[in-house]
Amino acid sequence: MTKYIKPAPGILSFGKVKTETLDNGLRIFVYEKKDAPIVSVQAWVKTGSIHEDEYLGSGLSHFLEHMMFQGTAKYPGQAMSEAIHKCGGETNAYTSYGTTVYYADLPSENMEIAIDCLCDMISSPSFPREKFVSEKEVILRERDMYLDRPGSVLAEKLWYNIFSLHPARHPIIGYREKIEKVNRDIMMSYYKKRYSPQRTFFLVCGDVESSTAFSMIKKRLGQWEIGNITEPFIPDEPLQLGHREATYHFKDPLARLCIGYKIPEATHADIPALDILSAVLGMSRSSRLVHNIKDEKELAISISASSYTSYFCGIFGISATCQNGKTERLKEAILEEVDKIKASKIDESELKKELNQQVTEYIRNLRLTSGIAKIIGSSVIAYGSPVYAEKYLERLISTTTSDILEVSKKYLAHEKSVTVELLPETETSSSPATAKSRTIKKEPKIFKGHSETRILTYRDDSLPIVDICLVLPGGVFLEKKNEAGISKMISAMLTAGTGSFSEQELAELIDSNALDFSVNSGSNTLTFRINCHKNVLDYALTALETVLKEPIFPKKQFKREQSNTLESLNSRMMNPQAVAEDRVSTLLYGGHPYGHPSVGYVENVRRFLPEKLKAFYLEKCLHSDKAIFAAAGDIDEKSIVKKLRSLTGRIPWNNSSCPNDVKRPRFPSSPSSDTIELPREQTVIICGMPGCDLLSDDSYSLDLLSVVLNGQTSPLFKSIREEEGLAYYTGAYVSKGIHEGYIALYAGTHPGAVEKVVAMMEKERKKLIKKGISQADFDSAMACIKQSLAEQTQRIDSLIFSSALSEFYGCGFMEPWERKKIYGALRLADVNKVIRKYLDTSSIATVSAGPALPKPKK
């Protein structure tokens, strides 16, 4: 049941990218995409951690990226971020081994602001002395946060061991002791060595005129001096003569391992075949590693394969997480699979399946302006030209099974591999170290399905893809305390086998047709989402129907998922963010379902049985009067409605009313707090207070408050991070549901700063109660929301899913299309009344989770 998907000719021609090179060597690339009034402006600098020369391991490239946002003479302090934020945009950056990218996404009418800011930032940073020390503290907090993540530590150790001389063996962020030694003079010297027009190119993508963009950038950077053009010596990696292994320890109950192989740079002719090889091995639910090792042998909780390439080198990796004690058997099983794929050609069906996956994913990436910009930029960095983005796809499609066999033999030799293990730490071991909204062509429509079900449709044929979604009752809201976590287990088990398909057959159906199929459980719902090429829509509906109608909850797969869930829960108990969130919910909600974690409790999961999962699903989730189906994209409206009506008539619905006997939460009348000690480097602080439900008119004002409290211009960020350097990150989120949700302020800091950070959070809360948000903050937040709404018009999947959720909750399926009008009607005074209403409360729960304070020395 596989249909070959071919990319439509000319679906996006990167030959249409317009290019201009200035006399100083700066290149400018512009791609005009006028389907929404937004633009992405990006500055790519060909410098990263591998170029740090005598300061290798200091994280200079990453440190410099942080300091570039600290202002210029024209835009002192946070003026640059504020200017972009004010017009509804966002700006950020990221650093890799060989590249640093700065970007701003905003309404196209404000393109010149972004160009002016990025040009000034790249060519004239001021590196203010007073910000250097505080920003160093922020980066040290980020390093601690990195070391709290076992997956990040494992990846770092793999790179360190797979390379013996190449500078990519050292982490991009650097080592703590080296970061601490960086001073402003070192930083400025590195900037002068590496930031120059010949290493930089600008990329503008979106609703623009290329001539205007060229003119704006040339005006600002045409006189930028050529500067230093010498390159540091980067040693060639010597030939590896034998297999290498390294074992490390980490305070987490799960074991992790990674097997890595060196592969060539991104431009090498073998890369497309290696990409397909990694997909065949472990990038989908029916891939060999997932099916044979995770599902059948049950040796791994998770397992995947990947092919990472940059313009200078690459790594082919196989990563897995397992229960402690299974690593040796897991390694043997992985090597067996590697040997099998080296012994004979893969089936044509496997090749077709993975090509379908790659082509469909390529099309998905064309939805967003920022996604297209990233494709173009990556092509320029690797190949020197944007047109190779298409040529890579052409090479990929022409790959044969013989090519796959050849590269597997060539690169996956055991003697050229490295195995890194990250095992649970024993007691004797030590820790590791303002936009116009798009004029939407059509409005969604609603139809009646079988047995009171509802069907939404929205047609957009700009790309040959279709999105299907379904919203059902489920999640935490319907769970009693002894059932907490059952919806999560159900979402994992629904694709584990049905009356018509075994787990493997269902995975083959999904993967062979490049279906992006997911089942998820949240606080209030059980949701199904499918994205597919329009040519395989019938296969997508077949997959949805069998999962929905006839799940069998097989015992073997149940035991596997139960075991994996228990192991993941044990690992989750070591995650400061998750632990703090769970405890805040418990302190606020008590015995209300929202007080229980969606992943459940260990004792619950141990008691679950397949029969209990099936009964809960049939009795509480399959209620036709609450079921909302939706289809969007390149659809024939009459045809899809007919098909979905037919499908809904074959589902064994529970036609009784959906139970709604949950009483609204009774929040505590006084503040509460808790401190949870965890063996981690950083501490996470969360301060929560009651919010509103989804049907409340206050919901939109609280959304606006959330925007104000997030990002580089937020008062939390400015006071806690920028002024004091006490946290790597700060922010806020607003949780809403069928019943009242909650508002949370959060920060990641070090244990010695907890009291001060909590006091600063409280200070900001009281300031908001007394003064509210300013007109400037209100205007900036409104601009950001309008930009977000404009961006959503590019994500039809997000738009239709949001519509289905709104219909489910009782807000009406048109609510996503009415948001611009609703937000536009908000007034500052009314928003501040809502802010005071919720923030002026004594029902506050404050939790910190992280390491204990070191004992004072005697």
Q: How many angstroms separate the Cα of 218 from the Cα of each of 114, 118, 534, 734?
A: 14, 13, 43, 43
pLDDT in tens, 361-376: 888 888 889 889 999 9
Give the lowest-confidence range in 447-451, 737-741, 845-849.
Answer: 447-451
pLDDT of residue 362: 84
CA-wise closest residue to 274 among 511, 266, 286, 285:
266
Distance CA 141, CA 670 (A): 32
Q: Is the dihedral of CA 473, 519, 464, 11 positive or negative?
A: positive
Residue the block writes with tokens 């069928």 = 738
User: Averaged over 33-51, what is the pLDDT?
Assistant: 95
pLDDT of residue 363: 86
User: Averaged over 542-566, what is the pLDDT?
Assistant: 96
How many of the other CB atoms lie within 10 Å of CB of 616? Answer: 19
pLDDT of residue 439: 40
Structure tokens at 22: 């200035």
The burial of 821, by beta-carbon neighbours within 10 Å (0-12 exposed, 13-18 middle, 19 or more buried), is given as: exposed
Single-letter code of the amino acid located at 182:
V
Residue 462: pLDDT above 70?
yes
Q: How much of the chain exceeds pLDDT 70, in percent? A: 96
Q: How many helices (H) and strands (E) does the chain have?
A: 30, 22
CA-wise closest residue to 654 among 615, 608, 612:
615
Residue 551: pLDDT above 70?
yes
CA geometry: angle at 342 spanning 336 and 345, to 5°? 120
The more confidently predicted of residues 687 and 435 is 687
Residue 436: pLDDT above 70?
no
Residue 540: pLDDT above 90?
yes
pLDDT in tens, 62-110: 999 999 999 999 999 989 999 999 999 999 999 999 999 999 999 999 9
pLDDT interval class at 428 (50, 70, 90) = very low
Structure tokens at 97: 């081994």
Distance CA 387, CA 342 (A): 33
Distance CA 97, CA 857 (A): 40
Residue 621: pLDDT above 60?
yes
pLDDT of residue 855: 64
Q: How many angstroms separate the Cα of 100 from the Cα of each of 65, 92, 122, 230, 760?
A: 7, 11, 11, 18, 33
Residue 429: pLDDT above 50?
no
CA geometry: angle at 493 spanning 492 and 495, to 5°? 90
Q: How many angstroms separate the Cα of 305 from the Cα of each of 258, 557, 654?
A: 9, 22, 41
pLDDT in tens, 206-221: 999 999 999 999 999 9
pLDDT in tens, 644-671: 999 999 999 998 776 678 999 999 999 9
Residue 628: pLDDT above 80?
yes
pLDDT of residue 432: 40
pLDDT in tens, 348-405: 999 999 999 988 888 888 888 988 999 999 999 999 999 887 888 888 999 999 999 9
pLDDT interval class at 853 (50, 70, 90) = confident
Residue 242: pLDDT above 80?
yes
CA geometry: angle at 290 spanning 600 and 307, to 5°? 110
Residue 283: pLDDT above 80?
yes
DSSP H/E element including 322: strand 314-323
Q: Considering the chain, what is the average pLDDT of its residues? A: 93
CA-wise closest residue to 78 among 598, 790, 719, 829:
719
pLDDT of residue 241: 87
Distance CA 814, CA 508 (A): 36
Instruction: Catalogue all structural domains in the chain, each as residue range(s) with its CATH number.
Output: 14-221 (3.30.830.10), 244-424 (3.30.830.10), 445-648 (3.30.830.10), 674-850 (3.30.830.10)
pLDDT in tens, 683-692: 999 999 999 9
Distance CA 524, CA 455 (A): 20
Q: Which residues contact 118 (CB under 8 A, 6 or more apart)?
A: 41, 42, 43, 91, 102, 103, 104, 202
pLDDT of residue 793: 83
pLDDT in tens, 479-491: 999 999 999 999 9
> How many residues does the structure list for the chain?
858
DSSP summary character for residue 654: B
pLDDT of residue 364: 86
